[in-house]
Chains A and B, each alone.
Chain A
């Protein structure tokens, strides 16, 4: 049998003619819309796809995107980045994390700055690489600073599973995993108590496919049912995104409100049960996790179960890790952008004081953030 080549996974899904065909279909369908619709792409990966491939340029004005909070690096509050920084500065520590985390500034600087000051900070593509690092440095403590949504949580769970099975004494965890449905609820319900005018503008959600590869599409069941918002679980290539958008538009003109899967080639209703069991074994919900730009979101974060305190860097280094909250710059409007009531160019510091190499707010810190995508790809329309 011929091996599956990597290009098979993306080539056809970037076909210019197919993209244009979807653009035509959406334009024709959109004429039947009774009012303009706002689609929130929850995930930063989708924001990236939409901007990189210029999809808004192909869509009628009646279809508007709201860029969601699904960028794990962007939503990390400064105090937790300070945790990473302080842990990295401990002489006995090698801090290991995933790529984008390195340049995000906390109140003391970024991990990049810590590294420039002599800290041993490494980024890995797979958390499993921690094992080799731990074995090569038996005299050091390897702290895996875990970030990400449902997509990356199983990798952290597998790592701790292996650390226990292989009895590796020098790997600890700092867990910052967050979950998607809870923050979606928060966005729908959000209302600024001071002005009472922050009603969200979200009409429908484009659900990230990779999250549902793990958690299934079932996690979105309540959005059409209880909140009246259709969800289409959609892949990340431009053809996928266009098909997902087309499916949402169809729901509106046919007056349906359903949970649908565009990314049927991988996503099922139940998801990966093995991964879910592993997550359940090692992690539990934290009652409140603070999201940068959004504030406290109930039940949206994970932590290690108490039984694994011996592996929990937050417990072991409790005495040196600050707990006070650190607020963002006053001019930053990331909270409004994440709620869909403002676009990046409306921010007074966008592209001036706040740029990808000196980010002020959450949406600029990673390539997946809305501001960063706007800055990088420009907006030619």
Chain B
């Protein structure tokens, strides 16, 4: 562990896990926390609870804003445990000088997203700090949801199961990067930021057996697959050419030397189902996003590893992203 916290510790990858396990888990350790799922399952499996803080620059971006993110993020964490989002809290830390009109715009966008989830904000807090103490606006939301489908876990993957993604990957990361770096490359690039409960509900209603479910936020799909491979001690084999990536996202990746699988998403999830449910699950997912795809399967070839297979017959490991995502030089 390094002496000081660096930005790499917040990347959702290896350093991030280290920080959490060596400081927070060490002192907070308990059975519920250590399951380390998207949200905690409490009250004998009836309720799910999750919290998330949001800081993003810029605050408004193509296809969303920090308010939409703050609702989607927490609600999606609940939905990923098969829970229907119900009650949320909302705390904001505001930098002195922030425009109230902008604040209202953000809150309006939160309200819209709450409606999609059928959830309400039941408690809140506001703090205003001197200029420079925060970057414009930080939002924390905590949510409680009612578990509608029990038993979803990253620990239950078994040989032969299939891995699906709910839509094309990496668009949020690519959008934020191009907005931040001012790369005027493509105009159609938009974040995938969306509430996922409606899609999860459709899966539950169709009677599909859901083994594992996780939204691929920081660290992207790579991080989710690596966590699953680790938690279930299995190998996940991915067919590279089946990974859906929008052209404009791939373009950004090519220019900056990123992999779309490492980029953050805010409305894309990874799903593991038994082989017999693969076709039906894909049908359900395609009703929301035509780009949904079945990308691989669970095997036992390299335990705890994710293997990427190319269309020309080579294989390589897909590792957990490390460090800050930085553009390559040449």
Docked CA distance A375–B14 (Å): 14
Interface pair A356/B323, CB less than 8 Å apart: yes
Within the complex, what minimum Cβ distance (angstroms) separates B184 from chain A?
12
Within the complex, what minimum Cβ distance (angstroms) separates A21 from chain B?
10
Interface pair A100/B316, CB less than 8 Å apart: no
Interface pair A148/B329, CB less than 8 Å apart: yes
The residues of B that contact A375 with a CB separation of less than 8 Å are: 319
Interface pair B330/A57, CB less than 8 Å apart: no
The residues of A that contact B315 with a CB separation of less than 8 Å are: 54, 57, 380
By secondary structure, the B interface counts as loop
B159 within 8 A of A: no
Docked CA distance A23–B323 (Å): 34
Docked CA distance A5–B188 (Å): 14
- Hey, what's the 0/1 contact readout for B310-325 against A, CB within 8 Å counting as 1? 1111111101001110
B307 within 8 A of A: yes
Picked from A100, A113, A115, the residue with its CB within 8 Å of the CB of B328 is A100
Stretch at the interface among B34-42, B108-116, B207-215, B250-258: B250-258
The residues of B that contact A287 with a CB separation of less than 8 Å are: none
Interface pair B328/A99, CB less than 8 Å apart: yes
The number of inter-chain residue pairs (CB within 8 angstroms) is 116
Interface pair B326/A151, CB less than 8 Å apart: no
The residues of A that contact B150 with a CB separation of less than 8 Å are: none
Interface pair A72/B330, CB less than 8 Å apart: yes
Picked from A54, A101, A116, the residue with its CB within 8 Å of the CB of B310 is A54
Docked CA distance A75–B75 (Å): 47
B104 within 8 A of A: no
Within the complex, what minimum Cβ distance (angstroms) separates B323 from chain A?
6
Picked from B4, B6, B254, B316, the residue with its CB within 8 Å of the CB of A54 is B316
The residues of B that contact A53 with a CB separation of less than 8 Å are: 310, 312, 314
Interface pair A16/B317, CB less than 8 Å apart: no
Within the complex, what minimum Cβ distance (angstroms) separates A101 from chain B?
8
Q: In residues 245-301 of chain A, which contact B (Cβ within 8 Å)?
A: none
The residues of B that contact A125 with a CB separation of less than 8 Å are: 181, 183, 255-256, 327
By secondary structure, the A interface counts as helix
Interface pair A19/B330, CB less than 8 Å apart: no
B52 within 8 A of A: no
Docked CA distance A57–B4 (Å): 41
Docked CA distance A58–B310 (Å): 12
Interface pair B329/A99, CB less than 8 Å apart: yes
A378 within 8 A of B: yes
The residues of B that contact A58 with a CB separation of less than 8 Å are: 312-314
Interface pair A123/B314, CB less than 8 Å apart: no
**Contact A20 B4, CB 8 Å, known A72-B330, A73-B329, A152-B329:** no
Picked from A17, A54, A102, A149, the residue with its CB within 8 Å of the CB of B326 is A102
Docked CA distance A123–B324 (Å): 12
Within the complex, what minimum Cβ distance (angstroms) separates B260 from chain A?
13
Docked CA distance A357–B8 (Å): 9
Within the complex, what minimum Cβ distance (angstroms) separates B304 from chain A?
12
Interface pair B329/A7, CB less than 8 Å apart: no
Within the complex, what minimum Cβ distance (angstroms) separates B264 from chain A?
17
**Contact A45 B313, CB 8 Å, known A103-B8, A103-B323, A357-B14:** no
Q: Which of B310, B314, B317, B323 has the most CB of A within 10 A?
A: B314
Q: In residues 1-57 of chain B, which contact A (Cβ within 8 Å)?
A: 2, 4-8, 14-15
**Contact A45 B323, CB 8 Å, known A20-B312, A58-B312:** no
B247 within 8 A of A: yes
* 11 contacts across the A-B interface (CB closer than 8 A): A6-B185, A6-B255, A17-B312, A45-B330, A57-B315, A58-B314, A116-B7, A148-B330, A378-B317, A378-B319, A380-B316
Partner-A contacts on B (CB < 8 A): 2, 4-8, 14-15, 181, 183, 185, 241, 247, 250-251, 254-257, 305, 307, 310-317, 319, 322-324, 326-330
Partner-B contacts on A (CB < 8 A): 5-7, 9-10, 16-17, 19-20, 23, 45, 51-55, 57-58, 72-73, 98-103, 112-113, 115-117, 123, 125, 147-149, 151-152, 210, 238, 356-357, 366-368, 375-378, 380
